[in-house]
Chain A
C-alpha cells in the first residue's frame, strides 16, 4: 500500500508570488532577450512576435511593474510577519532563508557525496542552493529594477548627476550594460540551474509540483528534508502540516501550465547558448 500522507510546504501566498514571478519573468525575458541577441534571426522573430517596437517595450514595462508588485507584497509579508505578528525565525534558525553556519557544512557534505566519499547530507527547510537562488533573486531584482528605471527615465535620472561627473560616469550607458548582462545571468541561471536543481531532477521530472500545489508527500519530505521532518516530529507539530493529497485535476493543471513554461525556458537558454557557440566559433 502506497503511503498517501501529504504535508503542506508552501502556503497560498508563496504559491501566488511564485506564479506572479513566473508570468512577469517570462514576459521580461521573451521581450527583452531579443535586444541582447539582436543580430540573430530568432531574436528578430521573437521581437516581432511580441509586437516589435514599441509594443514589446510596453509589454516589458508592464511585466516589470508586475515584478515590482511581487517584490512589494513580498516585503509587506515579511514586514507584517516580523513586526506585527512578531514571528521568529525569519532571520536566524532552521527556517530562515539567510545563510546559516550549517550551510557551510552542508556544502562540504554535498561535495563529499558528489565524489562518493560520503552519504547525502540531510537538509532542513531550505537547502543551501535554494537559499542562494532566493538571495540572488532578491539581489537581481534590485539591480534590474534600478538599472531598468534608469533606462526607462534616463533624462530624469541624469538630472541628479553633476555635469562634471556625467563626463566620466555615464549613467544610462552603465545601466544598459548592467541591465543586459544581469538579464543574461538571471535568465541563464533560472533556465538551467533552477530548472535542473528543482524541476528536472531525475526524481522530479518533469516538474516539482510542490510550489504549485503546495504539497509534498511524506516520502519526499523524508528524502529531501529529513532534519525538518525530525524537528517537527520532536516538536509534535508534524500533524499540523498534514493535508489531503492534491486532486488529480490540480496535478493535471500544474503540468499543463508548468511543462510548456519549462520547455519555453529551455528553448530560450538553448538559443542563447547557440549564440555563444556561434560567437566562439
Chain B
C-alpha cells in the first residue's frame, strides 16, 4: 500500500459526498484549503530526526510496551535509523512523521514533547481497505465470538516489519517476520509448517516469494475458515491457490497435508483415545483412520524404530569388532614377546 495524498484527499471527498454529511464535508474542505499551504511547509522530518537519531538528546532510547492482546512485553527503540526509514514502505519523499503521529502536528517540538503519544491510527485515511478485509475475516469473527481481544494492526505489523521493509510485502524480511507474527499465537501450526517441504526451506532463512509463507496460502487480511466458499484454502479456491505456484495443480495434488502432525504429541493422543473408544464410538475411529495424518504418523514412527534398531545393532557390532581386533593384536604381541624370551 503506497501512501498517496491525492488518493486520500479523494477518499475524504467521496466519503463525504456519499454520506451526505454536508457539514463534515464542508468543514473538511475548508480545513484542507486553509491548511494546504501550511502542509506544504510543515512537511519536514528535521525536528524529529534531530533528536531521534542521537541517543544523548533523548530521555529514553527504548520503551517497553505491553501488547494489549497477547500481554507480551515488547521493547521499541526510540532511535531511528534514518537511512533504513527512508528505504522503508513509509519512507517516501512525500511522507512525514506527523502524518502518523498526528498529535504532534503543528506542535513546537524544539523543547521535546509529551512522553506517550497517542496510538497511530492506520485505518481512517490510508489503510481502510485491508482493515475492512480484516474485520470480515474468520480470524476476527471467531475471536469476537469467544470474546477475545482482537489484534490491532500493530498486533501483527509492529516493530521492524513496520518501519524497515524496503520491498514492502515482497521483502524476504517482511515475509519472514509474518511467519513469526502468525506463529507467536499459532504455535502448533508453525511447528507443523516447519516440518513440511515449504516450511523447512523458510526455516533455513529463505523467504523470497518462491517459498510460500503463511499468508501466501491463507490470505493476508481476509483469513477465512476453509468451509467458507471464499476461503483461499477452501474447496472452491484451493486449486487456484496451489496452482499459483504449481502449474497444472490437479484435484489429487491439492489434497496435500500442509501441516503434518508427525511430531505433535497431541495428535498421537487423539489417535490412542479413538482406538481406546473404538467400541463405543466406531465412527470416530473411522474418521481417524481416514485422516491422512495417521499414515504419516505411522511412517514416521516406523522410521524412528528402524533408525534406533539399525544404529544400536550395527553400532554394537562395530564396537565389538573394534575391541576384538585390538584384543587379538594385544594377545599376538604378548605371545610373540614370550616366544622371544
Contacts and interface: CB of A to CB of B under 8 A. Distances in A.
Interface of A: 34-36, 38-39, 43-44, 47-48, 52-54, 110, 113-114, 116, 120, 129, 151, 154-155, 158-159, 161-163, 165-170, 172-174, 176-178, 181-182, 184-185, 188-189, 192-193, 196-197, 201-203
Contacts of B295: 168-170, 174
B26 to A, nearest CB: 56
Task: List the 8 shortest-distance A-B pairs measured between CB atoms, nearest first.
Answer: A181-B303, A166-B252, A53-B206, A114-B320, A38-B203, A158-B253, A166-B255, A158-B252
Contacts of A52: 204-206
A38 B200 CA distance: 6
A158 B250 contact: yes
A36 B262 CA distance: 14
B171 interface: no
Interface stretch (B4-12, B68-76, B110-118, B323-331): B323-331
B87 interface: no
A278 to B, nearest CB: 15
Interface stretch (B136-144, B225-233, B306-314): B306-314
B329 A167 contact: no
Contacts of A36: 200
Nearest to B205: A44
Interface string B253-291: 101110010100000000000000000000000000011
A53 B314 CA distance: 35
Interface of B: 194, 196-197, 200-201, 203-206, 208, 210-211, 246-253, 255-257, 260, 262, 290-292, 295-296, 299-300, 303-304, 306-307, 310-311, 314-315, 317-318, 320-329
Contacts of B210: 53-54
Contacts of B315: 192-193
Contacts of B311: 188-189, 192
A173 B256 contact: yes
A35 B199 CA distance: 10
Nearest to A175: B197
Contacts of B290: 167-168
Nearest to B314: A193
Contacts of B246: 154-155
For the complex, would chain A's binding face be called helix, strand, loop or mixed by DSSP majority?
helix
A193 B206 contact: no
16 contacts: A48-B205, A53-B208, A120-B324, A154-B246, A155-B250, A166-B255, A168-B292, A170-B292, A173-B292, A176-B196, A176-B197, A177-B300, A192-B311, A192-B318, A201-B321, A202-B329
Contacts of A182: 303
A43 B257 CA distance: 25
B204 A38 contact: yes
Contacts of B317: 129, 193, 197
Nearest to A151: B197
B114 to A, nearest CB: 44
Contacts of B314: 189, 192-193
Nearest to A176: B197
A177 B299 contact: yes
Given A113-B324, A155-B250, A202-B329, A173 B204 contact: no
A227 to B, nearest CB: 18
A154 B307 contact: no
A169 B253 CA distance: 11
B307 A181 contact: yes
Q: Which of A38, A162, A197 has the most chain B CB atoms closer than 10 A to its own CB?
A: A38
Given A114-B324, A173-B257, A163 B252 contact: yes
Given A47-B204, A53-B208, A113-B324, 7 more contacts: A129-B317, A155-B250, A159-B250, A168-B295, A173-B260, A173-B296, A177-B262
B322 A38 contact: no
Nearest to A273: B311
A232 to B, nearest CB: 25
A53 B252 contact: no
A167 to B, nearest CB: 5
Contacts of A181: 300, 303-304, 306-307
B252 A162 contact: yes
B89 to A, nearest CB: 25
A43 B197 contact: no
A81 B205 CA distance: 49
Contacts of A154: 246, 253, 256
B250 A34 contact: no
Contact of A155 (B194, B196, B253, B318): B253
A201 B197 contact: no
B145 to A, nearest CB: 29
B245 to A, nearest CB: 10
A52 B172 CA distance: 14
Nearest to A136: B310
